Structure 1
Amino acid sequence: MSQEILFMVVLGVDTGGTFTDFTLFDGEKVQCYKTLSTPKDPSIAVINGLKEIVTGSDEKVLIHGSTVATNALLEGKTAKTALITTQGFEDILEIGRGNRLDLYNIFVDSKPVLIPTDLRFPISERINKDGEIVKPLRDEDIQELINEIKRDKSIESIAVCFLFSYKNPGHEEKIGKRLQELAFPTSLSSEIVPEYREYERMTTTVVNALVSPIMTHYLTSL
């Protein structure tokens, strides 16, 4: 623990499915407090607990752990999310990698797909492995895609993952700017995980997009 934090009040908060736990360290002693969680809106339990355990106006460091995003994924209660990707690669989420739990079993249960086919949108663009633009991303293609997405008024979040965007994020940034101007919560793979391996980069970006609106609502409520 740094010297600065030792002279400050440190409060730890952990929200769980049954209880929300608080630990307060004032530089000399540790206090613990527990309250029932409020699953429909976890922020209520956090705020109620803070009112009980926090006193005075001293500057405080808040360390917060939460399973809000994890629970949303496990329960399938995520935001309705669209995926925009390089044309011809919209099925990466389903294809995955060649490693299989049971290599020769053609009837093995497949993993749930994070985004269904009708919410995966391809767009014509291409950047090669060296970050060079092979096929430019055209403004008219972006507008056509945006018009298509806007027809489904229930879409809450968008993930964008283009080939080799970790080498050159220009195309992702271009379409991301347009989407954000329209107030779409947008997750760009070149920002979330700018690394090679398309499947891992795409799934990580999609997961971020699925839970971003939920976490934004939760943190704003605190």
Structure 2
Amino acid sequence: MSRIRVAVDVGGTFTDICIMDEDSGAIRIEKTASTPDDPMQAIMNGVEQGRIDLSEVTMFSHGTTVATNALITRRLPRTAMVCSEGFRDVVEIRRANKEDLWDTYKDVAKPYIPRRDRLTVRERVSAEGTILEALDEEAARRVAEILKKRQVKSIAVCFMNSYVNGANERRMREILKEAMPDLPVSIS
């Protein structure tokens, strides 16, 4: 049984598939037409075209020029962000990303998610992971209804210190999914 690594790049016109045999080091490249309405279809076409046995794949790497280009050109579906109360504007403040903190006239790009689509709920987790304040579920349901009415296409949930305890984020995702079961919801 061979061991192979597969790397895929989905572009706007073509999908490139790079296949490396781990034992011999041999590399093959396949190119197939992209399918913008269903990028996975182009990947599967490339898998078939390259006669890749998925049971032999030890590593799969996926990059997407389409997503990068969407970010660069700002042609993105309407996305919302739900964050911890008091942290709605962190993405706009950009503390970690300013060349000159004191230059208030410096041109900076607008955030990908406009302020009106960044909503907050009360919840708090300490830096150690202790839940200091459970998610305000009533407020969470109100936020879900607001976002449903706005017809957003995806939602990111970004709560403080969720990297150490994601319980509040997971519950927020559940509430959002109850209101919008088919909508993509990302948590950190």
Whether these two folds match at TM > 0.5 is: yes
State the one-letter code of the partner of 2:148.
K
Pick aligned residue for 1:12 from 6, 18, 21: 6
1:83 touches 1:115 (CA, 8 Å); kept in 2?
A: yes
Residues 140 and 22 of structure 1, relative CA distance in 2, 3 Å threshold: closer
Aligned pairs (5 A) from 1:52-201 = 52-54=49-51, 59-61=55-57, 63-67=60-64, 68-97=66-95, 100-153=98-151, 155-182=152-179, 183=181, 184-189=183-188
What is the SS of the residue equivalent to 1:140?
helix
Deviation at 1:93, TM superposition (A): 0.6
What is the SS of the residue equivalent to 2:83?
strand
Deviation at 1:177, TM superposition (A): 1.6
2: CA distance between counterparts of 1:40 and 1:124? 39
Deviation at 1:137, TM superposition (A): 2.8
Structure 2 residues not aligned, in runs of 5+: none
Deviation at 1:157, TM superposition (A): 1.4
Q: TM-score, normalized by length of structure 1?
A: 0.64
Structure richer in strand, relative to its length: 2
Deviation at 1:113, TM superposition (A): 0.4
1: CA distance between counterparts of 2:141 and 2:71? 31
Identity of aligned pairs, percent?
29
Deviation at 1:98, TM superposition (A): 5.9
Q: TM-score, normalized by length of structure 2?
A: 0.74
1: CA distance between counterparts of 2:86 and 2:174? 23
Q: Provide the aligned length of Structure 1 versus Structure 2.
A: 181
Tell me how large the CA RMSD over aligned residues is: 3.3
2:32 touches 2:46 (CA, 8 Å); kept in 1?
A: no
Moved more, 16-25 or 68-77: 16-25
Deviation at 1:83, TM superposition (A): 0.8
What is the SS of the residue equivalent to 1:151?
helix
1:11 touches 1:23 (CA, 8 Å); kept in 2?
A: yes
- Superposed CA deviations along residues 60-107 of structure 1, whole A, max 9, x for unmatched, are 327343224333323323332111112221000101216631344332
2: CA distance between counterparts of 1:58 and 1:119? 40
Residues 27 and 137 of structure 1, relative CA distance in 2, 3 Å threshold: closer
What is the SS of the residue equivalent to 2:95?
coil
Higher relative contact order (CA 8 A, sep 6+): 1
What is the SS of the residue equivalent to 1:101?
coil
What is the SS of the residue equivalent to 1:90?
coil
State the one-letter code of the partner of 1:114.
Y
Match of 1:219 in 2: none
Structure richer in helix, relative to its length: 1
